[in-house]
Amino acid sequence: MQTEKHPLQPFLPEKAKILMLGSFPPKRERWSMDFFYPNRINDMWRIMGILFFDDKHHFEILEEKRFDREKITAFCNKQGIALYDTACEVRRLKDNASDKFLEIVTPTDLPSLLTHIPHCDNIVATGEKAATTIAETFGCETPNVGNCVELTIDGKHYNFWRMPSSSRAYPLALEKKAEFYRRLFKESE
């Protein structure tokens, strides 16, 4: 079975305080932009719109049915949000984007990634597979959804958060997902 390498470079703003990690992007035919959380039916950018602009459509170009990559990257730079995934290479066991059918062939070298964002003190898993991969990488417990555990990597302390998946397959209303993320941003100020 064929493997896929990650199609994007890590997005690492110089002053990033938060590193958000998903598992792996969907297949390119599902993308509405060339950036993280590109699938139109993924709610990550709607969650951010609700939290920071009180508008779930803030990052969408509705008439073009896509997300606004430039607006999103400017927002992430301003807010200090770095983005990547916990896998650099995967094998899709079924022809979809479901984490359940994603086999991680090569996990991301997270300690190395963190050296590029020295101001970061919050590592955020945006779903179960990402949380499990991070916990396995660092030999720590996996936090419950909406919570964090302390983690020490190379002598530096981090809060390791587990958020609900922004995928619509995760059975939780958009507003409820946003509340979990609201706590993360409030506590990481």
Predicted confidence band at 96 (pLDDT cuts at 50, 70, 90)?
low
More confident residue, 176 or 188: 176
Cβ atoms of 87 and 23 within 8 Å: the answer is yes
Residue 139 is inside which H or E element, if any? none
Q: Please state the domain count of the chain.
A: 1
pTM above 0.85, yes or no: yes
Supply the pLDDT for residue 102. Answer: 81
Cβ atoms of 119 and 158 within 8 Å: the answer is no
Shortest CA distance to 176 belongs to which of 50, 33, 15? 50
Q: What are the C-alpha distances in Å from 42 to residues 32, 71, 132?
A: 10, 17, 20
Predicted confidence band at 98 (pLDDT cuts at 50, 70, 90)?
low
Phi, psi (deg, nearest 5) at residue 47:
-60, -45
Supply the pLDDT for residue 97. Answer: 61
Q: Please tell me the distance from the alpha carbon of residue 179 to that of residue 146, in angstroms, as a whole number.
A: 9
What is the chain's mean pLDDT, rounded?
A: 93
34-38, 53-57, 167-171: which has the minimum mean pLDDT?
Answer: 167-171
Pairing, β 18-22 against β 81-85:
parallel
Range of the structural domain that residue 27 is part of: 4-187
Whether the CA torsion 85, 151, 128, 32 is positive or negative: it is: negative
Digit-coded pLDDT (tens) for 59-72: 999 999 999 999 99
Looking at the chain, the whole-number percentage of residues with pLDDT higher than 70 is: 98
Supply the pLDDT for residue 103. Answer: 85
Q: What average pLDDT does this structure show over 29-35?
A: 92
Digit-coded pLDDT (tens) for 134-180: 999 999 999 999 999 999 999 999 999 999 999 888 889 999 999 99
Output the domain CATH number for residue 39. 3.40.470.10
